[in-house]
Structures are given as structure tokens and as C-alpha cells.
């Protein structure tokens, strides 16, 4: 997976309305970025890739403020991409996600990593589909503690815009225009833009379908020649997968132990 730290390539502008409680660390230090290709967004390996004590940062509530923690992500204007998905590891149980123009998208309940008196961790797999949002806000709505929260890592999955003619998300436009009255000229313009975008998408789909069909036709002649060879191949793949999953689980557990020690140490300093 081709990932990099956000600070190494500031392609996304980020902010948090609570203050970092770790010297010389900010919200940017928790973030990895991955430019995803045309394939579907997947989340299977994210925890193993993100989980890192170096990306673990504690945030505290500013004085005289009662706002819930809010994380904001905005793609810089020079990047022709949009948010395809986000993986968030933190100690908040529930989050709310908002897109462009602060439109509400969904509420997520975290998958439990670990729960206890000293450490709580939850994983959020946020699939943003094809809405093509260039701005995302995440509000932590159910924290484990009133005055502070932990982030253990964030992965932003960015996808290149496939529309050559326009990168407008018409679902967001329709949402904003509900009940609004616009002129005939504006209505015709919007219809034209939608049809042009649809034409581009159809051309891209037709090209992809033709390529896939030709590849399938040429590959049929090179299939495994016997059931025995196929069984051997499947057994080998299953063995490799089993060994990989065992190693992955051990790696995640080792990282969690390191982060737990780090969180304990910082909690003791506060007392």
C-alpha cells in the first residue's frame, strides 16, 4: 500500500477544535494518506498499517469551551482528488460524519478494539462511496472522558476524480437545492452538466468493460489443467493466508501493548 505521512506531503488541510496535550505534536501527526486507484475502497489491513505509538496523541478541551471534539479535513485546491474513505482509530464510541457544505452523511458506531478501565479503543471504517466530497468533518459524539480524548491513528483514502468535464457531486447539489426555486436558464445549465458528466462516466465504463472482456477471453486457454493442480494451488494459498493472519494478529497485539503502556504513562503524569 502506497502511504505517506501527511506532514511529508500536505495534500489535506486538517484541524481539531481541541488542543493537543503532547509536546510538539498536533492532529497532523496522527494522519496517514493513501491515494487509492480505481478499485473499490477496502479496510481489511488498515488497523495494522495505522496503529503506531508515534501517531497516538491526546487532546484536551480548551478552557471555557463546551463544544464536542470536531476534526476537519479539506483537500487542498491543487489536488484533483476527493475522499473515498477514512479509517479512524480513537477512544470515542460514536461519531457523526459531515460532507461538503456541512451536509450530514451518517452516524457510525465504532468496532471495539479493546475496552477496559485504563484503555479504550474503537475502529471506524468510513466508506464515503461516490459522493466525491472534498471536505469532511467528524464529530466525536460519545467520548469515554469528558475533558480529553485519544487518537491512535487516521488513514485518509483519496481517489482521483474520474470526471474530466466536472468534479461536481450532483447528489450534494440536489440536497442543497431541495425546495429552492431557480431560473429556467440555471435549470438548463444544471441539466447539461449532469448529462455531460454521465456521458464521461459511460465512456469510461465501456472502455473498462471491453478491456476486462478481452482479458478474460485470452485467459481461458491458460487455466489450470487438472483438478489435482487446482487443489494443490488452493491448499497452498490457504496455508499462506493462515500464516499471514496469525502474523498480522500478533503484530496488532504488539502495537496495542505499546500504545497501552504509552497511554498509562501519560495518564499517570496527569494525576
Confidence of residue 42 (pLDDT cuts 50, 70, 90): confident
Confidence of residue 206 (pLDDT cuts 50, 70, 90): very low
**Has residue 220 got a pLDDT over 50?**
no
Whole-number pLDDT of residue 132: 84
Percentage of the chain exceeding pLDDT 90:
27
What does pLDDT average to over the chain? 75
Q: What is the pLDDT of residues 77-93, one digit of tens each?
A: 777 888 999 999 999 99
Confidence of residue 250 (pLDDT cuts 50, 70, 90): low
Confidence of residue 201 (pLDDT cuts 50, 70, 90): very low
CATH of domain 3-161: 2.60.120.260
Total-model pTM? 0.63
| Residue indicated by cell numbers 488497523 | 47
Contact of 160 with 80, CB cutoff 8 Å: yes
Q: What is the pLDDT of residues 7-29, one digit of tens each?
A: 887 789 999 999 998 888 999 99
Q: What is the mean pLDDT of residues 141-153?
A: 88
Whole-number pLDDT of residue 87: 93
Whole-number pLDDT of residue 255: 65
Q: Which residue has the higher pLDDT, 161 or 88?
A: 88
| Residue indicated by cell numbers 473515498 | 84
SS (H, E, C) the chain: CCEEEHHHCCCEEEEECCEECCCCCCHHHHEEEEEECCCCCCCCCHHHHHCCHHHCEEEECCCCCCCCCEEEEEECCCCCEEEEEEEEEECCCEEEEECHHHCEEEEEECEEEECCCCCCEEEEEEECCCCCCCEEEEEEEECCCCCEEEEEEEEEEEEECCCCCCCCCHHHHHHHCCCCCCCHHHHHHHHHHHHHHHHHHHHHHHHHHHHHHHHHHHHHHHCCCCHHHHHHHHHHHHHHHHHHHHHHHHHHHHHHHHHHHHHHHHHHHHC
Strand 12-16 to 111-114 pairing: unpaired
Q: What is the pLDDT of residues 46-78, one digit of tens each?
A: 677 788 888 889 999 988 777 899 999 999 877
Neighbours of 158 (CB within 10 A): 20
Confidence of residue 203 (pLDDT cuts 50, 70, 90): very low
Sign of the dihedral through C-alpha 80, 98, 27, 93: negative
Confidence of residue 4 (pLDDT cuts 50, 70, 90): confident
**Has residue 227 got a pLDDT over 70?**
no
Amino acid at each position: 500500500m502506497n502511504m505517506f505521512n501527511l506532514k511529508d506531503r500536505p495534500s489535506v488541510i486538517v484541524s481539531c477544535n481541541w488542543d493537543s496535550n503532547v509536546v510538539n505534536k498536533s492532529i497532523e501527526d496522527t494522519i496517514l494518506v493513501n491515494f487509492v486507484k480505481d478499485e473499490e475502497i477496502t479496510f481489511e489491513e488498515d488497523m495494522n498499517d495505522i496503529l503506531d505509538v508515534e501517531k497516538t496523541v491526546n487532546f484536551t478541551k480548551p478552557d471555557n469551551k463546551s463544544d464536542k471534539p470536531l476534526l476537519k479535513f479539506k483537500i487542498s485546491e491543487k489536488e484533483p482528488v476527493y475522499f473515498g474513505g477514512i479509517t479512524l482509530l480513537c477512544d470515542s464510541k460514536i461519531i457523526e460524519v459531515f460532507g461538503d457544505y456541512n451536509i450530514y452523511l451518517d452516524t457510525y458506531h465504532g468496532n471495539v478494539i479493546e475496552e477496559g478501565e485504563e484503555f479504550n479503543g474503537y475502529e471506524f471504517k468510513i466508506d464515503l462511496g461516490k459522493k466525491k466530497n472534498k471536505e469532511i468533518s467528524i464529530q466525536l459524539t460519545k467520548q469515554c472522558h469528558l475533558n480529553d480524548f485519544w487518537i491512535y491513528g487516521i488513514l485518509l483514502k483519496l481517489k482521483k476524480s474520474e470526471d474530466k468535464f466536472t468534479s461536481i457531486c450532483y447528489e450534494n447539489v440536489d440536497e442543497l437545492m431541495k425546495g429552492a426555486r431557480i431560473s429556467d436558464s440555471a435549470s438548463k445549465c444544471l441539466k447539461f452538466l449532469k448529462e455531460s458528466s454521465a456521458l464521461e462516466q459511460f465512456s469510461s465504463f465501456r472502455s473498462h468493460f471491453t478491456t476486462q472482456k478481452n482479458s478474460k477471453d485470452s485467459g481461458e486457454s491458460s487455466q489450470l489443467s487438472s483438478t489435482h493442480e487446482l487443489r494443490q494451488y488452493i491448499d497452498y494459498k490457504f496455508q499462506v493466508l493462515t500464516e499471514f493472519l496469525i502474523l498480522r494478529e500478533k503484530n496488532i497485539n504488539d502495537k496495542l501493548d505499546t500504545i497501552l503502556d504509552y497511554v498509562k504513562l501519560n495518564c499517570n503524569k496527569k494525576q
